[in-house]
Every structure is written in structure tokens, then in C-alpha cells.
Structure 1
């Protein structure tokens, strides 16, 4: 039975002591940045489904948006002697985590936020692979959708605010770079201010309220992820304005509440599906532990993401009931299916 304890062990199946049993059912540790975000709950739930199908003892830890908790989680997993570790290296924890795991001869797959070096680097041969989204492309698509919707002010300019994610992470940096790509192509768009929402709702709501108070001419908001968009929408609503009419908002992640917001017109544009990355990493780690190495040319995975606008919501719900694509973990595992080509599946509409 899964247990949820904030800042501590979130999901665990009892570890097996016998060596033969360990080989049959590997113990894989996972650390997520925060379970205060719907995205990371979806990520963990998909991995749990995969663990059940593949026969993996999964240990899920919550860093609770704290750098020291991420390091402590890594230390705990190494001390437990897990067979593999999958984690998201926010707060510059790639090198410390890989070092800890290397010293214990534990293979690692990074997700969502990448390191400054490629997988299977000579310094860290235990770094098997990276799986994450094409953040820069997503950030650009978000910007372009927002710019196209806005009407110029009397001076011919379009005024937007930016609510970024967790500062210093490759995720936040690349999404903002994508927005800059869009800005470079649209000199009529003016960024009135930027704040860091730390990828969570409450912080995003608070910092946007402050930014908006000093810049009442904001017409649209580029929000770095789903929780950020939800916080911005809450701020607009609390001010007695209508998101989607008085202020246009775009976001990312395809969280259920954001899909609802696109459907009801509060959120103009959303893009995502990359919470699947955890499940893909699980298949890759499982296969590695079963003797199927990750090919070097398939070790750095950047996922294309699924865009969503109001006119595609019905199609989205038909193609992905509950927001979840059909995915057979065993069919994508070379340990179970020697004909499997890749663990990766990108969400696409049926037509």
C-alpha cells in the first residue's frame, strides 16, 4: 500500500533481502522535487504503474522543494543499497548525486533537468541516460500562442508579464530561452517584469500579484508550468478580473486542472505530457539492470510535447481518457520483449 508522507518516504514496497530476489525484483529509488505539484504526482503515479507491471520494488522520496532534502534523499537511497536511482537534479544536484551513486556503484538516470555534461560521460559512467522535455521549443510555442492572441495597446505594443520556474534549473532556463526566441521575432511585445514562481501555485500567485500591482498594463502572462499558471489564474480571479478575457494566460504541463482551464477558456494554451519521462526512465533502468545496456545514441532523450488549445480539448479527452495514454511497460522493455526498439512514447493526437 502506498503511503504519502510529505518530505519523507512517499511510496515504498518492502525491500527484499535475499540476493536472488533482488536480481529478480530490482530495487529502484526515485526522488521528485516536490509532491505539492500535480505534475510530480502524475510522474510518480505513472512510475508506480510501471513498477507494478515490471516487478520493481519502487522507493519514492519527496525533496519537498528543498535542496538539502534532495541530497539527504540521495544519501538515504545509497545507504539502502538500491540497485538504481532515478531523480531530477534541481538545485545543481547532478554532480553531487552522481558522485554519491558512483562511489556505491549505483547506476543513475536523470529526468526533467539535465546536467552540464552528457550521459555516459567518462567522469560518470554510471550516468546511464537523461529523459526530459524539449523545454526550449515548448517555451517558444507558449510565447507565440500568447503573442498571437493579444491585441496591441494604443501605442502599438503588447505587454506581458513572465512568471518563471525554479531559478537555476535547466528546465526554467530552457523554457525562458524559448520565450526569448519568440520575443526576438516579435519586437512589438514588451516584458513589463519577471518573477520566479518556483514552479508551484501559491508562490506563483503571490509573486504575480506583486508584479501586477506595479504593472497594471499587463495584457498577458507567460507562466512556466501548470502550477504557475494555476497560481496566476487564481490571482487574476481574486482581483475580480476574468482570466482568458481581461488577462490572457499560457502555461505548460497538461495537468488535469489546466486542461479544465483550457476547456473553460481561462487558459489559452497548454503543452505537456512529459510526466511520462519517469516511466520511460524506469523501463530504461530496469532493462539495464537486466543486462540490456542503454545505447549511447538513445541515452539523451528530449521529448516532443503535445500542445492543447480549446478546440482540441474534446479530442484530447477522447484520445487520452483521464489524461493518460495507453502504455504497455512490458512491450517497451527489452527484458520482456526482445523486439522492443525504445521505451519512449510521445503523446500525439489520433488525427
Structure 2
């Protein structure tokens, strides 16, 4: 997102999901940490769009009235990004040109928006949790040790014109190497397990 904006100084806002779920809290913390590390970007406000497009649209409308020069917008999911982009367009801004959006998810609609450049940065991959879980079950059934708690990340940047992007767009789930991913994840496992791990 910031690279799409030529790393120029500017104001930013965040539209997080909610105040309580781990997915929301952790995504928000990651987004906030990113902006805190960018000395040339001022994070003006964090709001919570409840994962909802219409709520996000109204919030973005208010945020743009409050901060008319906002350049960077981070949202915790694609629905909220769509709402925020609608508000930006209504305010005469062009996503991908004078205002830059980052979001999370891998829906067909958001992949198309990323490919067009309306979304400048897209993260995702948490859908692979089920595939990784099945690969761990397969590994255990094959006589390998039960996987321990792992620190590997499910999320990654999704960039057009890459093999992974094409797999997602074409929903070619059979081409995604879950076993290879599982082995890479297991290499980052803790040396001991807890009751929660088994």
C-alpha cells in the first residue's frame, strides 16, 4: 500500500473488525505496528467496522470529513475495504491513485480489485488452515509425530502475476502444496507441547 503510494508521507486511518475476537485484535495490532514504524506516516484514527461493508462506508465518510487528506487506509477484511472505497469515491478520490487501500482476504471480488490496482496491498492465506490441519493428520496417520504448536504464519502478501495469485483466482486448491507448507510450518514448532496442542 505504501509502496503503491511511492512511500510518500501522509495520513492514515485503520478500519479494524471488532474489539474482542482474536482475529481482529491481532490484525489490528499488526496494522498499528506497521504504521508506528513508518515515521513519515501519521496514523490518525482506528475505528471498528464490525466486518461490515455498510458500517465501514459510513465510518470512512466520517473519517474523510475529519481527515480530508488521508492517503493510506488499512482495513481488516475485504468487505470493509469495499465500503471504505465507496466512501472514498463519493468524496472524489480514486483508489490506487490518490488514496491507497490495504486489506485482508482472498475472495474473488477482492482479487479482482487487487489486480485492477484499486486495492494496493492484499494479505491472505488463512483459508489454508484446513488444508494444513488435514496434512498434519495425514502425517500422523503415516507414523510421523503429532505436530506441536507451531509459529508459522498463514498470511502472506498476495501479488498479481504470481503463481499463488493465479491459483487463488482460479480456485485451483489441488495445486496448493499443503504437505510442503505443513513441513515448513513444523520446522518452526516449539520443542515441547502443551495440553492445548494435542
Task: Please say whether Structure 1 and Structure 2 have the same fold, judged by a TM-score greater than 0.5.
Answer: yes
Q: Is the 8 A contact 2:135 2:182 kept in 1?
A: yes
Rate the CA distance shift 1:183–1:197 in 2: closer, same or farther, 3 A. same
Rate the CA distance shift 1:345–1:252 in 2: closer, same or farther, 3 A. farther
Tell me how far apart the structure 2 counterparts of residues 245 and 147 of structure 1 sit (CA, whole Å): 12
2:153 alignment counterpart: 303
Question: Equivalent of 1:191, from 43, 50, 54?
Answer: 43
Runs (4+) of structure 1 exceeding 6 A deviation are 285-288
Per-residue deviation, residues 107-156 of structure 1 (Å, max 9, x unmatched)? xxxxxxxxxxxxxxxxxxxxxxxxxxxxxxxxxxxxxx42662564xxxx
Is 2:82 aligned against 1:234?
Answer: no
1:212 alignment counterpart: 64
State the Cα distance separating 1:247 from its structure 2 match: 1.2
Q: Is the 8 A contact 1:147 1:158 kept in 2?
A: no
State the Cα distance separating 1:164 from its structure 2 match: 0.8
SS of match in other structure, 2:128 = helix
Tell me how far apart the structure 1 counterparts of residues 34 and 45 of structure 2 sit (CA, whole Å): 16
Tell me how far apart the structure 2 counterparts of residues 265 and 200 of structure 1 sit (CA, whole Å): 22
Tell me how far apart the structure 1 counterparts of residues 134 and 153 of structure 2 sit (CA, whole Å): 16
1:90 alignment counterpart: none
2:21 alignment counterpart: 169
State the Cα distance separating 1:267 from its structure 2 match: 0.8
Identify unmatched segments of 5+ residues in structure 1.
1-144, 333-339, 347-351
**TM-score, length of structure 2 as denominator length:** 0.73
Q: Is the 8 A contact 1:165 1:224 kept in 2?
A: yes
Per-residue deviation, residues 271-317 of structure 1 (Å, max 9, x unmatched)? 112112134446667998x8x898252x44643433123xx336445
State the Cα distance separating 1:181 from its structure 2 match: 2.8
2:5 alignment counterpart: 149
1:322 alignment counterpart: 170
Tell me how far apart the structure 1 counterparts of residues 162 and 152 of structure 2 sit (CA, whole Å): 27
Per-residue deviation, residues 160-190 of structure 1 (Å, max 9, x unmatched)? 1111112122222222222233233322211
1:87 alignment counterpart: none
Q: Is the 8 A contact 1:200 1:228 kept in 2?
A: yes
2:99 alignment counterpart: 247
- What are the equivalent positions in structure 2 for 1:104-123 lying under 5 Å apart? none
SS of match in other structure, 1:257 = helix
- What are the equivalent positions in structure 2 for 1:130-145 lying under 5 Å apart? 145=1
Q: Is the 8 A contact 2:49 2:80 kept in 1?
A: yes
Which is further off, 216-225 or 168-177? 168-177
Rate the CA distance shift 1:244–1:147 in 2: closer, same or farther, 3 A. same
Q: Which has the larger radius of gyration?
A: 1
1:158 alignment counterpart: 10
Rate the CA distance shift 1:194–1:320 in 2: closer, same or farther, 3 A. closer
Rate the CA distance shift 1:269–1:231 in 2: closer, same or farther, 3 A. same
2:161 alignment counterpart: 313
**TM-score, length of structure 1 as denominator length:** 0.44
Tell me how far apart the structure 2 counterparts of residues 248 and 149 of structure 1 sit (CA, whole Å): 7
Rate the CA distance shift 1:270–1:345 in 2: closer, same or farther, 3 A. farther
Per-residue deviation, residues 7-31 of structure 1 (Å, max 9, x unmatched)? xxxxxxxxxxxxxxxxxxxxxxxxx
Identify unmatched segments of 5+ residues in structure 2.
186-198
Q: Is the 8 A contact 1:160 1:218 kept in 2?
A: yes
